[in-house]
Homo-oligomer: A and B are copies of this chain.
Amino acid sequence: MTAPRRRGRPAAGAAVDTRQAILDAARTQFAAKGFTGASMRAIAAEAGVDASLISHYFGDKSRLLVATMELPVNPIEKIATVVEGGPDGMAERLLRTFLGAWDPHREVFSTLVRTTLGSGDGQAPMLQLARNVLITSLLSVLEGDDRELRANLIAGQLIGMATMRYVVRLEPLAGATVDEVVRLYAPSLQRLIGSDTP
């Protein structure tokens, strides 16, 4: 059943069109220039809208990237709740938040990993998200000269675990409860975060 387009409300349709034009332009620009290289100004120009409209509809560039991916969870909000508590116990919060968000959507995660790694595209949206949301957020908490390398390794641990659980569906990991994974894996992950290393 398709809802009939109502008369007298052209603004709603125009907003939908504008949002869609911005998303299309953002996908094109992110694919061509990467997250860092794609400017809000260039995206606005390609969409034929004023740059202020992008902020109005989507917020900042990270939020625009997430919007282009049409994910069932918002990783920016999730990671914010993880890092705001600081490094102590962050491994457990990271795992619980990650698994809580993606366990119900494991098919989506699996498709993302498959298309990202299968394509060989270094500017694939998931990689831009890993670099510019996950790793950037981790860096806001980690300390020490080697924190960039540790942030890479933490991202690798998270994606390696999720690939085994959701994509490869290796047993017993695929069927393990969140509590079991947290109990075994959080101490290992916390070693890389530092602080209250047990």
Chain A residues engaging chain B, CB cutoff 8 angstroms? 113-115, 117-120, 122, 127, 130-131, 135, 146, 148-150, 152-153, 155-161, 163-165, 167-173, 176, 180-181, 184-185, 187-189, 191-192
Contact = CB atoms under 8 A, between A and B. Distances in A.
A193 to B, nearest CB: 10
A165 B157 CA distance: 12
A120 B114 contact: yes
Given A172-B149, A173-B153, A113 B117 contact: yes
B184 A150 contact: yes
Contacts of A184: 146, 149-150, 153, 192
Interface of A is mostly: helix
B149 A173 contact: yes
A185 B118 CA distance: 27
Given A117-B118, A118-B114, A157-B157, A164 B152 contact: yes
Contacts of A191: 187-188, 191
Contacts of A117: 113-114, 117-118, 163, 167
30 contacts: A113-B117, A114-B117, A117-B117, A117-B118, A117-B167, A118-B118, A118-B119, A131-B170, A148-B172, A149-B176, A149-B181, A149-B184, A152-B171, A152-B172, A152-B173, A153-B161, A153-B164, A153-B173, A153-B181, A153-B185, A153-B188, A155-B170, A156-B157, A156-B163, A156-B165, A159-B163, A159-B164, A160-B160, A163-B163, A188-B188
Given A127-B168, A146-B184, A160-B163, 14 more contacts: A115-B118, A118-B118, A146-B180, A148-B172, A149-B172, A149-B173, A149-B176, A152-B171, A153-B188, A155-B164, A159-B164, A188-B188, A188-B189, A191-B191
